[in-house]
Every structure is written in C-alpha cells, then in structure tokens.
Amino acid sequence: MRFFAHKSAYVDDKVRVGDNTKIWHFSHILSGSKIGENCSFGQNCVVGPNVTIGSGVKVQNNISVYEGVEVEDDVFLGPSMVFTNVINPRAFIVRREEFKKTLLKHGCSIGANATVVCGVTIGEYALIGSGAVINKDVKPYALMVGVPAHQIGWVSRAGNTLAFDEKSEATDSYDGSRYKIVDDNLEVIK
C-alpha cells in the first residue's frame, strides 16, 4: 500500500487504505474499514470499525467516524464535527445491533462542530453550516444551518450560495454552471 501514516497513528490489520491517503498524528483506523485514494485525516481522528470512506475525502482534526457511517467521494468533514450511531444511548445497555446507517453523498460538506444524528442521508453537494444539528435527511445542494438545522437556500457544486432570477434559475460565478428550482428541488441545467 502506498499511503502515509504518521508514526503516532495506528492502522489496524484488515484495513484497506487507498494510494496517496494521509493519516496524521494520533489517529486510529480500526479493523474492517475501507478508505479510498487521496484522502486526508487530520490529528486525533478515529475511523471504524467497518466504515467505508470514498476517495478524495477530507477529514479534519478531532473527528470520529463510527460504524454505521458511509462517506462517498469528495466529502469534506470540518474540524470537530460529530457523528452518532445510536438514537437512545445508555452506558449500561449495549445497542450495537441498533446502529443506524448514516450516508453522506458525493461532494457534500459538513461545517466545524456540526452534529449529524444517525439515520440520515445528506444529499450530493449539500452544505451544512458550522454548529448545525442535522436530525433529518438533507436534499442535494441544500444549505442548512441552525439547531435543529433548517434549509436557508441552495448552493452550487462549488459551494457558492445561489441567487435565483424570476424563472427560479441561477448561475454560479465559479464555473458558469446553471441551476433551476423544480418542485422544491434543485436541478442542474448545464
């Protein structure tokens, strides 16, 4: 395998890590986890066991990606954001059989200190603001903020907030891509 792991990091047996992935200080990748190529894990991260993370994912400092979470390609996880995997945890009750699946779709971004409650799907290219609490599914390209999080707009693939014209269409200044709101969902026109 051609990945980098800092000397203070632990990578367990039965782990698959893709080429050019970097695992930094004091991080631990647990058995059964699969990580794609060109990922970056900051300091003090824990992954797994049995977690799947795609390629091109950026996991900032102080993040634990628990069993039950699946992360697709090109996802950004901001510093100290939090996942859960059980709805009603108790220290004195083992609930491993009750882990809920959480899915982060291609290209979405989660802000620093946000919390993602288990059992939700965050759509492609959605942008979750810092400190938000996600407790329900998020539409693709949605801009979510608050506690609990609510949608305040739409973002482009590049993460820019979109301003719509009278036809409910918008153009992203980053790359000229065009978007349209149809039936309360965002569609890419070009």
Predicted TM-score (pTM) of the model is: 0.96
Q: What is the pLDDT of residue 2?
A: 93
Q: Which residues contact 172 (CB under 8 A, 6 or more apart)?
A: 156, 157, 158, 160, 162, 178, 179
Q: What is the pLDDT of residue 1?
A: 59
- How many Å apart are CA 177 and CA 188, to the nearest integer? 8
**Domains, the chain:** 4-159 (2.160.10.10)
> Is there a contact between 114 and 128 (Cβ–Cβ < 8 Å)?
yes
- Give me 103's structure tokens: 């899915």
- How many Å apart are CA 80 and CA 24, to the nearest integer? 15
- How many Å apart are CA 68 and CA 79, to the nearest integer? 20
Residues 92-147: pLDDT tens digits? 999 999 999 999 999 999 999 999 999 999 999 999 999 999 999 999 999 999 99
- Terminal-to-terminal C-alpha distance of the chain: 39
Q: What is the pLDDT of residue 190?
A: 76
Distances (CA, A) of 129 to 88, 100, 148: 25, 23, 11
- How many Å apart are CA 163 and CA 105, to the nearest integer? 24
